[in-house]
């Protein structure tokens, strides 16, 4: 029997960081589903496709790419057709096009299938936007991480500065607001709070505090 921890929430709530830390500490397989939509988007951009008008081509890309989420000494590596794209999928270009790509229902169906297959027979922690509602509505633990949009933009800004990216705080805030709107208004797989999810507002919490709170909830159920 596998044990599934499902975590949803908007961009910048610390989902990725917290999931990674908990996966290491509790020896769970970490599945970053946003990275999978980012791989489809990166491959599209590589093939010169940057509009969702080309829906059929985008669906074909999603059907034909090979995505691997690998762990090396606690570090997650994302491989796209065998190539390490861990950093490339976080570029401004990919971030700007991933939300529309992920709104295509046929692409979501393919990714959801793949996500369920990746979790088969394993104890996993999976994060995204529709994990608690669509991918694993019967997950053992369902958590929704939230935070004020200004705080989320501030966090992203600091992360980007550390990576040498040059966007201003205002640009990031604007993009997060657009992405939130798109993520919440998708025809399929829209971001919403599952009725039985535990909601944690992380606005005034440190990463350590959020991690410990989520870990306690998991350990309480994982007996
Ligand atoms: O978590 P992230 O920023 O890496 O996600 C990238 C995009 O993919 C984001 O715009 C929402 C979308 N996404 C989704 O639609 N469903 C998921 N399960 C995960 C991400």
Task: Give the nearest ligand 1 atom to 16 CA.
Answer: 1
Q: Is 127 in the pocket of ligand 1 (CB under 6 A)?
A: no
Asked if 218 contacts 5 with a C-beta cutoff of 8 angstroms, the reply is yes
Residue among 142, 62, 63, 133 nearest 102 (CA):
62
pLDDT tens, 49-101? Answer: 999 999 999 999 999 999 999 987 767 899 999 999 999 999 989 998 999 99
CA 3–ligand 1 middle distance (angstroms): 22
CA 102–ligand 1 middle distance (angstroms): 7
Q: Is 128 in the pocket of ligand 1 (CB under 6 A)?
A: yes
**Is residue 24 pLDDT above 90, yes or no?**
yes
Asked if 146 contacts 129 with a C-beta cutoff of 8 angstroms, the reply is no
pLDDT at residue number 9: 97
pLDDT at residue number 75: 79
**Is residue 129 pLDDT above 80, yes or no?**
yes
pLDDT at residue number 165: 82
Task: Give the nearest ligand 1 atom to 15 CA.
Answer: 1
The Cα-based distances of 183 to 8, 99, 124, 190, 209 in angstroms read: 11, 7, 24, 6, 26
pLDDT tens, 132-174? Answer: 999 999 999 999 999 999 999 999 999 889 888 888 999 999 9
Asked if 32 contacts 127 with a C-beta cutoff of 8 angstroms, the reply is yes
CA 216–ligand 1 middle distance (angstroms): 26
**Is residue 28 pLDDT above 80, yes or no?**
yes
Strand 4-8 with 29-32, pairing: unpaired
**Is residue 189 pLDDT above 80, yes or no?**
yes
pLDDT tens, 190-220? Answer: 999 999 999 999 999 999 999 999 999 999 9
CA 223–ligand 1 middle distance (angstroms): 31
Cα(108)–Cα(47) distance, rounded to whole angstroms?
20
**Is residue 221 pLDDT above 90, yes or no?**
yes
What is the average pLDDT across 3-31?
A: 94
Average pLDDT of the residues of the chain: 94
Q: Is 202 in the pocket of ligand 1 (CB under 6 A)?
A: no
Token pair belonging to 147: 């935070």
Confidence band for 121, pLDDT divided at 50, 70 and 90: very high
3 state DSSP class of 156: helix
CA 1–ligand 1 middle distance (angstroms): 27
CA 142–ligand 1 middle distance (angstroms): 17
pLDDT at residue number 177: 94
Q: Is 211 in the pocket of ligand 1 (CB under 6 A)?
A: no
Q: How many residues does the chain have?
A: 223
Hey, what domains does the chain have and what are their CATH numbers? 4-222 (3.40.50.300)
Token pair belonging to 191: 């971001």
Q: Is 39 in the pocket of ligand 1 (CB under 6 A)?
A: no
Task: Give the nearest ligand 1 atom to 115 CA.
Answer: 18
Cα(8)–Cα(6) distance, rounded to whole angstroms?
7
The Cα-based distances of 25 to 30, 59, 137, 219 in angstroms read: 11, 37, 24, 11
Residue 12 gets the label, from left (phi > 0), alpha (psi -120 to 50) or beta, of left
The CB-based long-range contact list for 55-59 (8 Å cut-off, 24+ gap) reads 55/104, 58/101, 58/104, 58/107, 59/104, 59/106, 59/107, 59/110
**Is residue 222 pLDDT above 80, yes or no?**
yes
Q: Considering the chain, what percentage of its residues have pLDDT values greater than 70?
A: 99
Angle at 204 between CA 203 and CA 209, to 5 degrees: 105
DSSP E strands in 35-158: the ranges are: 67-72, 75-80, 83-84, 124-128, 141-146
CA 16–ligand 1 middle distance (angstroms): 11
Which of 16, 37, 112, 119, when mutated, tests ligand 1's pocket best, judged by the most ligand atoms within 8 Å of its CB? Answer: 37
Residue indicated by tokens 């633990």: 141
Cβ neighbours around 103 below 10 Å, total: 19
């Amino acid at each position: 029997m596998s044990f599934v921890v499902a975590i949803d929430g908007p961009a910048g709530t610390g989902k990725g960081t917290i999931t990674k830390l908990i996966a290491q500490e509790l020896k769970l397989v970490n599945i970053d589903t946003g990275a999978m939509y980012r791989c489809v988007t990166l491959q599209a951009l590589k093939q010169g496709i940057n509009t969702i008008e080309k829906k059929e081509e985008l669906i074909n890309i999603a059907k034909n790419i090979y995505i691997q989420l690998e762990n090396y000494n606690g570090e997650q590596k994302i491989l796209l057709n065998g190539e390490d794209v861990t950093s490339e999928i976080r570029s401004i270009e990919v971030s700007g096009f991933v939300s529309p790509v992920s709104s295509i229902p046929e692409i979501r169906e393919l990714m959801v299938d793949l996500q369920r297959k990746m979790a088969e027979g394993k104890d996993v922690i999976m994060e995204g936007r529709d994990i608690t509602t669509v991918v694993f509505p019967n997950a053992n633990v369902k958590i929704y991480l939230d935070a004020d949009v200004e705080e989320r933009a501030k966090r992203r800004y600091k992360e980007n500065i550390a990576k040498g990216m040059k966007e201003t705080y205002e640009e990031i805030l604007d993009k997060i607001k657009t992405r939130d709107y798109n993520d919440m208004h998708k025809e399929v797989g829209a971001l919403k709070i599952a009725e039985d999810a535990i909601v944690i507002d992380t606005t005034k919490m440190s990463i350590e505090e959020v991690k410990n709170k989520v870990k306690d909830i998991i350990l309480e159920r994982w007996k």
